[in-house]
Structure 1
Amino acid sequence: MEDLSHLAYDGASPLSRESCYRALAAKDTRFDGVFFTGVKTTGIYCRPVCTVKTPRESSCTFFASAAAAEAAGFRPCLRCRPELAPYALQQNLAHAVWQRIAAGALNDGDIERLAGEVGLSSRQLRRVLLQHFGVTPVELAQTQRLLFAKKLLQETRMPMADVAYAAGFGSVRRFNSLFAERYGIAPGDIRRATPQDDAVAQDALTLRLAYRPPFNWAHILRYLAGRAIGGVEAVQQERGVYLRSVRIGEVTGWMQVTHLQARHFLELQVAPSLAPVLMPLLAQVRAQFDLDANPAVIEAHLQGDPLLGTHIRTTPGLRVPGAFDAFELAVRAVLGQQVSVAGATTLSGRLVARFGEPGDTPFANVTHHFPRAGKLAATDIAAIAQIGLPQSRAQTIRHLAQFAAAGGLNMRPGMTLEEAVAHLKTVRGIGDWTAHYIALRALRFSDAFPVGDLGLQKAAAEDEPSGRLTEKQLAARAAAWTPWRGYAALILWTT
Structure 2
Amino acid sequence: MSENGWQGGGRQEYKCGMPASISSPPSASPALDRLSCYRALSARDARFDGVFFTGVKTTGIYCRPVCGVKTPRESSCEFFSSAAAAEAAGFRPCLRCRPELAPYALQQNLAHAVWQRIAGGALNDGKLERLAAEVGLSSRQLRRVLLQHFGVTPVELAQTQRLLFAKKLLQETGLPMTEVAFAAGFGSVRRFNALFAARYRIAPGELRRSAPRRTCADGALTLRLAYRPPYDWDRVLRYLSGRAAAKVESVDASARSYARSIRVGELTGWLRATPVEHRSQLQVEVSPSLAGVLMPLLGRVRQQFDLDANPAAIEAHLAADSLIADRIAASPGLRVPGAFDAFELAVRAVLGQQVSVAGATTLCGRLVERFGDACETPLAGITHHFPLPARLAAADPADIAAIGLPRARAATLCALARFAAGGGLQLRPGASLEQAVARLKSVPGIGEWTAQYIAMRALRFPDAFPAGDLGLQKQAAPGGGRLTEKQLAARAHAWSPWRAYAALALWME
User: Taking structure 1 as the reference length, what is the TM-score of the superposition?
Assistant: 0.98
1:139 aligns with 2:153: no
**1:101 maps to amino acid:** I
Paired residues for 1:378-457 under 5 Å? 378-457=394-473
- Which of 127, 138, 161 is 1:121 aligned to? 138
Correspondence 1:234-313 to 2 at 5 A: 234-313=250-329
Secondary structure of the residue aligned to 2:278 is helix
Q: Give the secondary-structure state (helix, strand or coil) at the position aligned to 1:37.
A: strand
CA distance in 2, matches of 1:491, 1:471: 18
Sort the Cα spacing of 1:13 and 1:122 in 2 relative to 1 into closer, same or farther, 3 A.
Answer: closer
Q: 1:105: how far off?
A: 0.4
Q: Distance in 2 between matches of 1:202 and 1:69?
A: 38
Aligned equivalents of 1:174, 1:339: Cα separation in 2 = 55
Indicate how the Cα distance of structure 1 residues 477 and 218 shifts in structure 2: closer, same or farther if over 3 A, else same: same
Secondary structure of the structure 1 residue equivalent to 2:292:
helix
Paired position in structure 2 for 1:68: 85
Is 2:500 the partner of 1:483? Answer: no
* From 56, 81, 85, the counterpart of 1:39: 56
8 Å contact from structure 2 (residues 342, 425) kept in 1: yes
The structural deviation recorded for 1:125 is: 0.6
Whole-Å Cα distance in 2 between the matches of residues 187 and 32 of structure 1?
Answer: 26
Q: Please state how far the C-alpha of 1:364 moved relative to its aligned partner.
A: 2.7
1:231-283: CA deviations, max 9, x gaps?
A: 10000111111110000001000011111131111001010000000001100
Paired position in structure 2 for 1:163: 180
Identity of aligned residues (%): 72
Alignment partner, residue 10 of structure 2: none
Contact 2:437 2:448 in 1 (8 A): yes
Question: Which consecutive residues of structure 1, in runs of 5 or more, have no partner in the other structure?
Answer: none
Give the ranges of 4+ consecutive aligned residues of structure 1 lying more than 2 Å apart after TM superposition.
1-9, 11-14, 199-202
Distance verdict in 2 for CA 1:148–1:433, change over 3 Å: same
1:83 is aligned to 2:100: yes
Q: Which amino acid aligns with 1:257?
A: A
Q: Distance in 2 between matches of 1:89 and 1:215?
A: 18
Deviation string, structure 1 residues 7-26 (Cα, Å, up to 9, x no partner): 99315763111100000000
Secondary structure at 1:67 match in 2: helix
Task: Rate the CA distance shift 1:376–1:103 in 2: closer, same or farther, 3 A.
Answer: same
Is the CA contact 1:153–1:191 (under 8 Å) kept in the aligned structure 2? Answer: yes
SS of aligned partner of 1:38: strand
| Deviation larger for 482-491 or 467-476 | 467-476
- Secondary structure at 1:263 match in 2: coil
1:492 match: 506
**In the alignment, is the contact (CA less than 8 A) between 2:49 and 2:64 conserved in 1?**
yes
In structure 1, how many angstroms separate the alpha carbons of the residues matched to 2:116 and 2:471? 33
Aligned partner of 2:118 in structure 1 is 101
Which one of the candidate residues 483, 506, 509 is aligned to 1:469? 483
Contact 2:235 2:508 in 1 (8 A): no
Match of 2:225 among 209, 216, 223: 209
CA distance in 2 between counterparts of 1:379 and 1:202 reads 36
CA shift, 1:210, in A, is: 0.3
Q: Kindly state the Cα deviation for residue 90 of structure 1 after the two structures are TM-superposed.
A: 1.1
How many Å apart are 1:51 and its aligned residue? 0.3
Say if 1:86 and 1:292, in contact at 8 Å, map to a contact too. yes
What is the CA deviation profile of residues 382-413 of structure 1, one whole-angstrom value per residue up to 9, with x for unaligned ones? 01111110000000000000000000000111
Match of 1:56 in 2: 73
SS of the residue corresponding to residue 50 of structure 1 reads coil
- The CA RMSD over aligned residues, in Å, is 1.3
Return 378-387 or 8-17, whichever deviates more: 8-17
Q: Which residue of 1 is the match for residue 31 of structure 2?
A: 14
CA contact (8 A) 1:96 1:413 kept: yes
Q: How many residues align?
A: 492
CA distance, structure 2, for counterparts of residue 205 and residue 43 of structure 1 = 32
| 1:232 correspondence with 2:248 | yes
Q: Which amino acid aligns with 1:21?
A: Y
* 16 and 450 in structure 1: CA distance in 2 versus 1, 3 angstrom threshold: same
Deviation at 1:6, TM superposition (A): 8.7
Cα deviation, 1:176-208, whole Å, max 9, x if unaligned, reads 0110111111100110111213x4336110000
Return 5+ residue gaps in structure 2 as ranges.
6-12, 19-24
Q: Distance in 1 between matches of 2:489 and 2:479?
A: 17
Q: Distance in 1 between matches of 2:97 and 2:17?
A: 24
Compared CA separation, residues 234 and 387, structure 1 to 2 (3 A): same
Q: Contact (CA 8 Å) 1:6, 1:132: kept in 2 or not?
A: no
Relative to structure 1, the CA distance from residue 303 to residue 261 in structure 2 (aligned partners, 3 Å threshold; closer, same or farther) is farther
Q: What is the distance in 2 between the residues matched to 1:439 and 1:153? A: 36
* 1:306 to partner: Cα distance: 0.5
The aligned counterpart of 1:148 is 165
1:362 and 1:178 map into 2 onto residues whose CA distance is 38
Q: In 1, are the aligned partners of 2:29 and 2:105 still within 8 Å (CA)?
A: no
Q: Which residue number corresponds to residue 316 of structure 1? A: 332
> Letter of the aligned partner of 2:257 in structure 1?
V
Is 1:308–1:491's contact at 8 Å kept on the other side of the alignment?
Answer: yes
- Structure 2: distance between partners of 1:172 and 1:426: 47
Asked if the contact 2:28/2:105 (under 8 Å) is kept, the reply is: no
- Could you tell me whether the CA contact under 8 Å between 1:180 and 1:187 is conserved in 2? yes
Q: Which residue of 2 aligns with 1:359?
A: 375
Q: Measured at CA, do residues 6 and 383 of structure 1 come closer, stay the same or move farther in structure 2, by a change above 3 Å?
A: farther
CA-CA distance at 1:363 after TM superposition:
1.5
User: Deviations 1:394-433 (Å, cap 9, x if unpaired)?
Assistant: 0000000000000000011100101100010000000000
1:260 partner letter: V
Aligned CA distance change for structure 1 residues 13 and 115 (closer, same or farther; 3 Å): closer
Q: Distance in 2 between matches of 1:383 and 1:408?
A: 24
Partner AA of 1:35 in structure 2: F
What is the identity, as a one-letter code, of the residue corresponding to 2:411?
Answer: Q
Call closer, same or farther: CA 1:306–1:55 in 2, change over 3 Å: same
Q: Is the 8 A contact 1:248 1:277 kept in 2?
A: yes
